[in-house]
Amino acid sequence: MARFLWLLLAFTALSQIIPALAVANVAAHAHLSRPWAWGLGMFAYGVGLFLGRARSRMTDVPRPWPFVAFIDEPYFVHWCGSLFASIVSLFIIISSPVIDVLRGHDITFPIDGVTIAYVLGFMIALYGIVYRRRHFLTRRVDVAIEGLPEDFDGYRIVQLSDLHIGALTPKSWGMRWTRAANALGADLAVVTGDMVTSGTAFHEDIAEVVGSLKAPDGVVVTMGNHDYFGGDGEPLMSLLRRAGVRVMGNEGSVISRGAGRVYLAAIDDTWTRRNDLERALRDRPSDVPTILLAHDPDEFRAAAKRDVDLVLSGHTHGGQVAVPFFARDYNLSKLSHHYHLGLYRRGKSTLYVHPGLGTTGPPVRFGVAPAIVEITLRRARA
């Protein structure tokens, strides 16, 4: 982990060159003395505050809200804006000499273009960190299932995922999410993992948030990889059970409604190799539709081979950053996940990958809004 932090620090130092140049340029235009010193100060700010912010994301502990609001969030706005500006500036720096030659001008360094890139990146990051991640949507998704009993036609499941409650995603946000989920009046409430950012300091807050969910058929949780960061899942699992939440891992049970039945199963975390799909489906009755909670959507292939009708997952956050209005096709999680956002079909099986509610890494969302998702089961029409 220490080596990883030093690699991130080196990456951060490289990304701070562009904002340093931008600030020096603004200082020069403003006729401030020693504009290079202003740029150097910006570079020192960007590099100097990084390690503390990075470590706090890896071992999350409570921090005073003024510290979060006036130090952490502004720094991450700058950090994310710097990364965006560095990518855009690379294209500007490469293309600028070509444009100068074609226009018959002397070749010059595009300092004004670099400055504009940083300002634009800062504004995008400001939106993504200060506004977008605070304001969630409610999404409604219909899923057709072959052989679904008539009594379950219209059955509604409210899904929350990837809460990542912690210093940058406080309990108050989680309570807003659960109030919105409860207002839907769904039949079943599920949370598909990653309730934690890291560590164990916020386990009681998480239990209070998830324990406030209400549904006639109960509240069911399955664990994600972050839920084991800093321990073996305790005391979180015990606190959740004490709050009336069912924590399911590698197991299943039948839900009945009238004469109809469905089998609800869940598998444990794949990253820590706790998952066991065979065990989760061991008690599944024949000819009963199956719903599987699996934090990691990469389990969908194995689930489809076992004729699981619906898999509800999270984990990817839709990349947290995506092209607006085209998030399904162009998002960062697509670089590492085959199933990364929304609905997928494989034979008779359906997967829904939740966009998540919280964040990990840089606390930014752009193009991928946090969401409460209502899944409505429908009988497949012949």
Looking at per-residue pLDDT, the higher value among 173 and 54 belongs to 173
The answer to whether the CB of 53 falls within 8 A of the CB of 68 is no
Last residue of a domain, one of 118, 133, 148: 133
Helix runs in the chain, H state only? 2-15, 17-29, 35-48, 50-58, 65-67, 73-102, 111-126, 171-183, 203-211, 236-242, 277-280, 300-305
DSSP state string for 100-147: HHHTTPPP---HHHHHHHHHHHHHHHHIIIIIGGG--EEEEEEEEETT
Reported as a single tens digit per residue, the pLDDT across 226-245 is 999 988 899 999 999 999 99
Both 169 and 24 in one domain: the answer is no
Both 178 and 127 in one domain: the answer is no
Both 241 and 254 in one domain: the answer is yes
Distance in angstroms (rounded) separating the CA atoms of residues 368 and 358: 11
Tell me: pLDDT of 206 over 90: yes
Distance in angstroms (rounded) separating the CA atoms of residues 167 and 112: 37
Reported as a single tens digit per residue, the pLDDT across 30-84 is 999 999 999 999 999 999 999 888 888 888 999 999 999 999 999 999 999 999 9
Percent of the chain with pLDDT over 90: 93
Last residue of a domain, one of 117, 133, 149: 133
Beta bridge partners of 342: 353
Distance in angstroms (rounded) separating the CA atoms of residues 73 and 329: 29
pLDDT band, very low/low/confident/very high, at 325 (cuts 50, 70, 90): very high
Domain containing 262 — which CATH number? 3.60.21
Which three-class secondary structure state does DSSP give residue 308? coil
Distance in angstroms (rounded) separating the CA atoms of residues 66 and 126: 17
Both 155 and 107 in one domain: the answer is no
Both 159 and 216 in one domain: the answer is yes
Domain count, the chain: 2
Average pLDDT over residues 202-219: 98
| Domain assignment of residue 51, given as a range | 2-133
